[in-house]
Chain A
Amino acid sequence: MAGRVSDGAIHHFAGGSRLTATIERKSARQVSKVDRFLTLIRVFLVTLIVVGILAFIAQQVAPENPFARWRNPDAVGLTGDQFKGLLMSGLSQGAMYGLIALGYSMVYGVLGFINFAHGEVFMAGAMTGFIASDKFSQTGMWESNFLLSLAIIIILAIMVSTLTAVLMERVAYRPLRESPRLIPLITSIGVSFFIQNAVMGVFGPSTKSYPQLPQWLSKQRSILTFEIAGTKLLVLLVAAVSMGGLWYLVERTKTGKAMRAVAEDKEIAALMGINVNRTIVTTFAVGGAMAGIAGILWGLLFRSVTHMTGFLPGIKAFTAAVVGGIGNLPGAMIGGISLGSAESIAPLVILEPLGVPGVSQLKDAVAFTVLVLVLLFKPSGLFGEQLSAEDRA
């Protein structure tokens, strides 16, 4: 049986396979067409960005020089204050993306799937905030005791959002924990659709406006030469405090340790005596709470909320989580802030100098382009992914 094969051994397909093999060998060495095309896209996008920025700088330095006039003859550039204003709007908006992104990032880190419906958790917070603040405003408490009402609506929003997230996990995701990762993703799309339309049905499709904020909060303030509206300042402050709290929770408490262990390997964590189910619920709850806070901040900043409020910020927050490296919590926050700034500044700094009219409409397109760019250049995000062992493969 173990004897050597004689030279006359029957080669069933040998003739054909040798021929094919030589043909394949010639092409094997070449870079595939797809790769070449991708390189082309990368080069194109980078060139676009660099030229845009250069043209912008040219316009800032000397508006009359031919390069500045090349694509956009009516370019006026930005004043320093305008730029700072854009940056501040971007930062405050980005801080909210960051807060929502934490939920995506944590869930992805622990369960390895994108909870598409997380944007709806955020919307639930914003909606709760509206209902409560509207009631307060009717009774006059909003004006007479603003801080107390604010505290109450924040707590309410956190409660509702947390509840929404936990229910979602219990009803829709827990039964699917072992399925291939696209299955819970598709389910979460359904959940998102359902919540959006249920909220529309129950609370009506109209746009709902938060009551006026007190003057002392919303007025412009000047900090380090930056003119910033008080509301935006509040957003940044609250976001920073929440992030700090979350960091403490994850890194310094037993719950956080359990979360990290479950994220690393569910089975081993269970063997170590960690209650995996409870930890996963906690993860959803904490993510939900962060989204609830973001919801209130959104309401205070833009003062309007509809059943669709969660959709775009949700996707952008996912983008932020990817930009920062999914599973990486500080990354999510920084990703959010970068994305917010990018979508607020890039249209005016890159697209406007290139002669694109109506750039503010392209804000969302810019955000998605950032997502594509990050995935093209650094799929693991700027600060690296932190995924469980099974998801890294």
Chain B
Amino acid sequence: MSHLMEIRDLKITFGGLDALSGLNFHVDEGEIVSVIGPNGAGKTTFFNAITGLVDPTEGDIIFEDESILGLDPHQVTGLGIARTFQNVRLFPNMTVLENIMVAQHCRTSQLILGALLQTSAFKKEEKEIEERAKEVLAFFGSRLVGYRYDQPAFVLSYANRRRLEIARAMATQPRLMLLDEPVAGMNPMETAELTALIGRLRSEWGFTIVMIEHDMRVVRDVSDRVVVLDHGVPIAQGSYDEVSTNPDVIEAYLGRPAEGQG
């Protein structure tokens, strides 16, 4: 069976330093895969490579049986890969609704003339965009709806910004969603809530999800499979239980026991 996305021998070098090397990875339709690893392990670089923000030095990235290497980020998004950012990057001065509406750019087509002449096609598309945006926002319950629609994104609380960013990724209508530390900086209650939402992203919306996460409880609760990176090299793959007992992984996180004690 062919995978939804497959990465072969990915290597990325920055100024002589290997940010990633020898990474083989795949994700199947409907899976939730977590990528974990200590800081600086190359996790975000991995996402950047998939979304076209960084060009790999070697290797290939295959999405739906075709290589997406060398595509511009917007083309990658157009093919159905959406992402969020580690350090929430919304469009702060656009309203909540606009943030979501703008994300449907690659699924819509009206340009200048439609807007100027207010053609029926334009109005229909605008209406659809708005409806879809509201549908996406409704996924987060009452947090991002109603009077929130017209608030600029910068007034949102931190947790709501994270939610809005996920909503924005959803609005690009992806098949594969890359979440970069979705619960970072959230309190336990919010984390639990978002963990549930991630599960629903798959079960209700049918997204395949690759997620970078530090919070092991979240990783344990949602992922089918866990990939561990250390210094740009994958050191373990498998279910959460397998990975969490793997001595290499423990060493990468806690360091090698000192010689005297070992």
Contacts and interface: CB of A to CB of B under 8 A. Distances in A.
A12 B64 CA distance: 19
A18 B80 CA distance: 8
A25 B132 CA distance: 24
A2 B175 CA distance: 18
Contacts of A16: 107, 173
B227 interface: no
Interface in B190-236: 196, 199, 202-206, 221-224
Contact of A11 (B72, B78, B79, B206): B206
A28 B78 contact: yes
A5 B200 CA distance: 10
A21 B205 contact: no
Contacts of A9: 30, 202-204, 206
Given A3-B203, A12-B205, A18-B80, 9 more contacts: A2-B221, A5-B202, A5-B203, A9-B204, A12-B206, A17-B173, A21-B78, A21-B79, A28-B75
B241 interface: no
A111 to B, nearest CB: 23
Contacts of A151: none
B203 A17 contact: no
Contact of B80 (A10, A21, A32): A21
Contacts of B78: 20-21, 24, 28
B121 interface: no
B166 interface: no
The secondary-structure label for the interface of chain A is loop
A287 B107 CA distance: 50
Interface of A: 1-5, 9-14, 16-18, 20-21, 24-25, 28, 32
Interface of B: 30, 32, 64, 66, 71-72, 75, 78-80, 106-107, 132, 135, 173-175, 196, 199, 202-206, 221-224
B30 A20 contact: no
Contacts, number: 64
Contact of A25 (B30, B66, B106, B203): B66
B206 A20 contact: no
Contacts of B80: 17-18, 21
Nearest to B135: A12
28 contacts: A3-B203, A5-B203, A9-B30, A9-B206, A10-B206, A12-B135, A12-B173, A12-B205, A13-B132, A14-B206, A16-B173, A17-B80, A17-B107, A17-B173, A17-B174, A17-B175, A18-B80, A20-B78, A20-B106, A20-B107, A21-B78, A21-B79, A21-B175, A24-B75, A25-B79, A28-B71, A28-B79, A32-B72
A11 B174 CA distance: 11
Nearest to B223: A2
Contact of B205 (A10, A24, A25): A10
A2 B71 contact: no
Q: Sorted from nearest, which 8 A-B pairs have the closest CB atoms?
A: A5-B30, A24-B78, A17-B173, A1-B199, A13-B173, A9-B206, A28-B75, A11-B206
A32 B173 CA distance: 24
B106 A2 contact: no
B53 to A, nearest CB: 11
